Structure 1
Amino acid sequence: MCKGLATLPATCLKSAKDIKHKISFLLQKPEPQAADQKQMKEKTAAAAAAAAKRVPTAAEVEKWKESFSHVMNSETGRTVFTSFLKSEFSEENIDFWLACEDYKKSTTSKLTTRAKQIYQQYVEADSPNEVNLDAATREETRQNVENACPSCFNEAQKMIYILMEKDSYRRFLNSKLIQDLSQTHSDTAQMKKKKNNCDCTENRQALAGGA
């Protein structure tokens, strides 16, 4: 018999639940005042909550380590990355990026209103969630908003993406959050290996006993 094996599943399960709790807790945000912003945030929060219900697979975590694009192209990846940015008090970057993605899907009748809201929320100097843009890009975006079109935030969005990739993403890879996820999968793999070894030993003993 493999003594102590029965305690391993509970240990791994507890670790997974702890990580899910951390992600869910970090993703809690106050409701924005604007109606359109509130609707967008609710949609984002719903998607994030769904992604946070499960611990990422080992394959997903390994993919995120390969490139930033793998993180941003994954619903769960964005959720985990957002929780990391919240811990660094820099979640305005991904909020802005997501707002730009949502903006591109806006109907023509809502482009002008939504563009002004995003500009006033994230781009304008001293705005509530101002992102780090150079003066030229900020001015270019301001002019674009005056004649709103689906691409008016493209340059600013690109700059913030690069900023996250070159700065935040590197710290994300070395963060405790990623280390915890990797450790959970490592523990789970070891648990399965021990269980398989134990099963094989018991099968051999059973066969020997019946001989």
Structure 2
Amino acid sequence: MCRGLAFLPAACLERAKGLKTLFGSFIHRSEISSNSHKTDKLSAPTSEESMKLRESFEKLLANKHGLAAFRAFLVSEFSEENIAFYLACEDYRSTKSPSKLIAKANKIYEEFVKIDAPREVNIDHETRAITKKNLERPTESSFNLAQNKIYTLMEKDCYPRFLRSAAYQEVAGRLTGKVTK
């Protein structure tokens, strides 16, 4: 039985509302005049960029506009922890200092991997156990297995839904002049 959104923690609802607003402003950026002398970090993607977002999940993640739109989509579906975990692992892998590596590994584990973590990602028991074992002696590859599982989940499940979403369709439609209502 669905109990509605009223049973979600207020902090989750407020965060979702904030990101929904951010995504709404992302959609409307294409209407803003390009006369500004400043480069806007969240300006709308070009039509060419929008088409590249459809080519592959990898290209979506490599594009700042695509990543912002995808993240907002995941927030609207209450599964933003997946992209947050993926990006945390990317940052972790680029860490060179052994002491920072250990601190980041523990933080990622506590926030995303540990059972009942605040932003627990959906990985199987075996992957969780291997990841925990890897943290006994953290290396740049300690989270590779878990990160690959989450990447595959997003690529096979979330990404196709994102491309079919009204939000993506509206962005793509505005760029090609075919706004759908």
Q: Shared fold by TM > 0.5?
A: yes
Q: Is the 8 A contact 1:51 1:79 kept in 2?
A: no
Residue 135 in structure 1 maps to residue 125 in structure 2: yes
**Matched residue type, 1:63:** K
Q: Which residue pairs with 2:140 in the alignment?
A: 150
Deviations 1:122-164 (A, max 9, x none): 0011100000101100000000011111110011001000000
Task: Give me the TM-score of the superposition, normalised by structure 2.
Answer: 0.75
Residue 113 in structure 1 maps to residue 75 in structure 2: no
Deviations 1:74-108 (A, max 9, x none): 12211111011011010000000000011112222
Q: Measure, in 1, the Cα distance between the counterparts of 2:101 and 2:44.
A: 37
Match of 2:174 among 155, 171, 184: 184
Match of 1:59 among 48, 56, 72: 48
Q: Which residue pairs with 1:209 in the alignment?
A: none
Greater relative contact order (CA < 8 Å, ≥ 6 in sequence): 1
Identity across matched positions, percent? 43
Q: Measure, in 2, the Cα distance between the counterparts of 1:148 and 1:71.
A: 29
Q: Measure, in 1, the Cα distance between the counterparts of 2:125 and 2:94.
A: 27
Q: Is the 8 A contact 1:72 1:78 kept in 2?
A: yes
Q: Post-superposition shift, 1:22?
A: 4.1
Divergent runs of 4+, >6 A: none
**Matched residue type, 2:128:** R
Q: Kindly tell me: are residues 94 and 183 of structure 1, through their superposed partners in 2, closer, same or farther at Cα, counting changes over 3 Å? A: same
Q: Measure, in 2, the Cα distance between the counterparts of 1:157 and 1:131.
A: 10
2:139 aligned counterpart, secondary structure: coil
Gaps of 5+ in 2: 1-19, 27-39
Q: Kindly tell me: are residues 133 and 183 of structure 1, through their superposed partners in 2, closer, same or farther at Cα, counting changes over 3 Å? A: same
* Pair member with larger Rg: 1
**Matched residue type, 2:167:** L
Q: Which residue pairs with 1:86 in the alignment?
A: 75
Q: Measure, in 1, the Cα distance between the counterparts of 2:78 and 2:116.
A: 16
Q: Measure, in 2, the Cα distance between the counterparts of 1:139 and 1:179.
A: 40
